[in-house]
A and B are shown apart, each in its own frame.
Chain A
Amino acid sequence: MKGETVMAAAEKPTKEKLLSTLDDIEVLSRELIEMLALSRTQKLPQPGEDTQILELLVQRDKEFQELMQTAVVQGRVNQEMQTLEKEVEKRDTDIQQLQKQLKEAEHILATAVYQAKEKLKSIEKARKGSISSEEIIKYAHRISASNAVCAPLNWIPGDPRRPYPTDLEMRSGMLGHMSNMSTNGVNGHLPGDALAAGRLPDVLTPQYPWPSTDVSMGILPPHHGNDFGLEPPGHNKENEDDVEAMSTDSSSSSSDSD
Chain B
Amino acid sequence: MTPHFVRAIIMAAAVSVVDEEDYSFLPIIHDIIKCMDKDSPDVHQELNKLKTKIQEAREQISAMPGIDMSPALQDNKLRTLREQVRTKNQLLQKYKSLCMFDIPKPS
**Chain A residues within 8 Å of B, Cβ to Cβ:** 4-5, 7-9, 11-15, 18-19, 22, 25-26, 29, 32-33, 36-37, 40, 50, 54, 57-58, 61-62, 64-65, 68, 70-75, 77-81, 84-85, 87-88, 91-92, 94-95, 98, 102
Contact = CB atoms under 8 A, between A and B. Distances in A.
Given A8-B72, A58-B12, A36 B67 contact: no
Nearest to B65: A78
Interface string B66-107: 111111111111100110110011011001100000000000
Contacts of B85: 84, 87-88, 91
B67 A75 contact: yes
B29 A32 contact: yes
B64 A71 contact: yes
Given A18-B67, A54-B8, A71-B67, 11 more contacts: A15-B64, A15-B67, A19-B61, A25-B54, A29-B25, A36-B5, A61-B12, A62-B15, A78-B65, A84-B78, A94-B92
B65 A75 contact: yes
A84 B26 contact: no
Interface residues of B, number: 50
20 contacts: A7-B72, A13-B68, A14-B67, A15-B62, A22-B58, A33-B33, A33-B47, A50-B5, A58-B9, A65-B24, A74-B66, A74-B67, A75-B67, A77-B66, A77-B75, A79-B66, A88-B88, A94-B92, A95-B88, A98-B95
Contacts, number: 137
B67 A25 contact: no
Nearest to A37: B36
A142 B66 CA distance: 95
Contact of B72 (A11, A33, A78): A11
B25 A74 contact: no
Contacts of A91: 85, 88-89, 92
A72 B68 CA distance: 13
Given A4-B72, A11-B72, A88-B81, A75 B24 contact: no
A154 B77 CA distance: 99
